[in-house]
Amino acid sequence: MGATTSRSSTSAPRTAELNGWGAFAGVVLFLAGTFSFLYGLAAVLNEKVVTAGGGGGVIVWDFKAWGWAQMIIGLLMVTVSLGLFAVKSWARLAGVVFATINALVQVGTITAFPSGRSS
């Protein structure tokens, strides 16, 4: 007969720790969220800061609506990055979801770029 293994009642459950990849994901998500928020804020405060090539604006909405969407998504991404740093289990999936949403929202502004002038 083989040896049986038993789990002692004194063994504590493993606690989650922040590893290198978790820290990397948190930093990247924090930076992407911060830049998204600032880019959205610029679009909301002054539409002339961001211009669009090809004679059109953003593909989906006008700049103010897109700016508000960017600001909200940016804040959510920063919040999720803080959850990653705190090793919350919900933050892993939320990080993937919001990074994907942010990438899709960025597609709406392929023709947009900073104008380089402030008026």
Q: Give me the pLDDT at residue 75, please.
A: 95
Is the CB of residue 82 less than 8 Å from the CB of residue 13? no
98 part of a folded domain: yes
Domain count along the chain: 1
Looking at residue 40, what DSSP letter applies? Answer: H
Q: Give me the pLDDT at residue 89, please.
A: 87
110 part of a folded domain: yes
Rounded to whole angstroms, how far apart are CA atoms 59 and 34? 23
93 part of a folded domain: yes
100 part of a folded domain: yes
97 part of a folded domain: yes
Query: Which pTM value belongs to this model?
Result: 0.71
Encode the chain (119 residues) as per-residue pLDDT tens digits. Answer: 555 555 555 666 666 787 888 889 999 999 999 999 998 898 888 766 666 555 555 565 677 888 888 899 999 999 999 999 998 989 989 999 998 998 888 876 776 665 555 55
Is the CB of residue 111 less than 8 Å from the CB of residue 53? yes
Rounded to whole angstroms, how far apart are CA atoms 78 and 99? 11
Look up the domain containing 45 and give its range.
Answer: 36-114
10 part of a folded domain: no
Is the CB of residue 109 less than 8 Å from the CB of residue 66? yes
31 part of a folded domain: no
Question: What's the half-sphere exposure (Cβ side, CA atoms, 13 Å) at 74?
Answer: 19
